[in-house]
Amino acid sequence: MTPTRLFSAPDSTAGSLRPDLPYGEVCAIHQPNLFPRLVTLAKLFAADYWIVLDDVQFARRDYQHRARLASLDGSWQPQWLSISTYLPYGRFTSIRGARLADPSRCRRRVVQLLADHYRRSAYWPSFKRGLEPVLAAFESTDRLADVTELSTRLLLEEVGWQGQILHSSDLLAPGERSQRLADLAWLTGATTYLCGTGGMRYLDPAAFRVHSIEVLPFQARGSGIWASAREVSAVHALMLVGSGALGQELEALRGRVLEDDSRSSV
């Protein structure tokens, strides 16, 4: 569900009234990534809704147009799956403005590399069927963000996420980085903002406190499928353990994160 433009957030004052909107209490804001890393998928899964940050500057060194794949038995070095991307406005191009440079070639590369790495998995046939809408997008659009968001939606659906998806480009929230994220969370009625370890390095919690929104650090650490969670696409974990088991892992992590938060606030 993508709302139309709602309204501008007020100036950041402690007396601001919170909008009563039905998206939920826990919010995650993240750029659309191509088959996102497990740590990113876990953060989105833990949220009631995901605001797709699609109107910020595209970054080639990030995961917006690429994903790392690893072999099931660990015998290969992780390999980049990249989508050739054209930036009409150079480095000032936004994520939603980025275009597929050669959609047909990109589609073939996605199919080939995913199959090379995961076709021996017992869970590959089911995943391959679910992949069809993502592959079809290469034939119907040249917008990178459309394809990458679909790839994330596919993974969220595989693990049984029941949340909603909004888009920052549909919301009026100008301002510098921390203030804008805080206003986006406020506009959609959040009481808790999930922040990854990267965001915690630059985020100013004061911008959120103005809106009475708690910033909750989100970390995913451990062994097994979590050992490479910050580097490798969540497709790898899905092909190792299957959608049911991975969904249970994500639900357990979500419970721990929110439970620790409730304990710390007592």
Tens of pLDDT, residue by residue over 189-228, are 999 999 998 888 889 999 999 999 999 999 888 899 999 9
Question: CB-based burial of residue 42 (10 Å sphere; 0-12 exposed, 13-18 middle, 19+ buried)?
Answer: buried
pLDDT > 70? residue 8? no
Q: What is the pLDDT of residues 157-200, one digit of tens each?
A: 999 999 999 999 999 877 788 999 999 999 999 999 999 988 88
Cα separations (Å) of 260 from 201, 206, 216?
A: 21, 21, 10
Distance of CA 154 to the CA centre of its chain: 11
Position 17 pLDDT exceeds 60: no
Q: Which amino acid is at 29?
A: I
- Stretch among 90-94, 132-136, 167-171, 197-201 having the lowest mean pLDDT: 197-201
Per-position DSSP letters for 124-146, written without gaps between them: HHHHHHHTHHHHHHHHH--BHHH
Q: How much is the pTM?
A: 0.90
Q: What percent of the chain has pLDDT over 70?
A: 89
Question: Nearest to residue 24, comparing CAs of 192, 254, 253?
Answer: 192
* Gap between the Cα atoms of 27 and 49, Å rounded: 5
Q: Is the pLDDT of residue 3 over 90?
A: no
- Residue 127 CA to residue 26 CA, distance in Å, equals 28
Q: What was the pLDDT predicted at 20?
A: 59
| b/e map 145-165, b = 16+ CB within 10 Å | bbbbbbbbbbbbebbebebbb
Cβ atoms of 74 and 123 within 8 Å: the answer is no
Mean pLDDT, residues 12-41 taken together: 78
pLDDT digits (tens, 9 = 90+) for 99-119: 999 999 999 999 999 999 999
Return the pLDDT at 51: 97
Residue 34 has what pLDDT?
A: 98
Annotate 195-224 with b (16+ C-beta within 10 A) or e (fewer).
bbeebeeebeeebbebbebbbbebbbeeee
C-alpha torsion sign, points 23, 131, 118, 125? positive
Take residue 234 and report the two structure tokens written for it. Answer: 């969540």
C-beta of residue 113 within 8 angstroms of C-beta of residue 80: no
- The chain-wide mean pLDDT, for the chain, equals 90
Q: Is the pLDDT of residue 48 over 70?
A: yes
- For residue 251, report the phi and psi dihedrals to the nearest 5 degrees: -65, -40
pLDDT at 36 over 60: yes
pLDDT at 122: 98
In the prediction, which pLDDT does 19 show?
Answer: 54
Across the range 226-238, mean pLDDT stands at 96
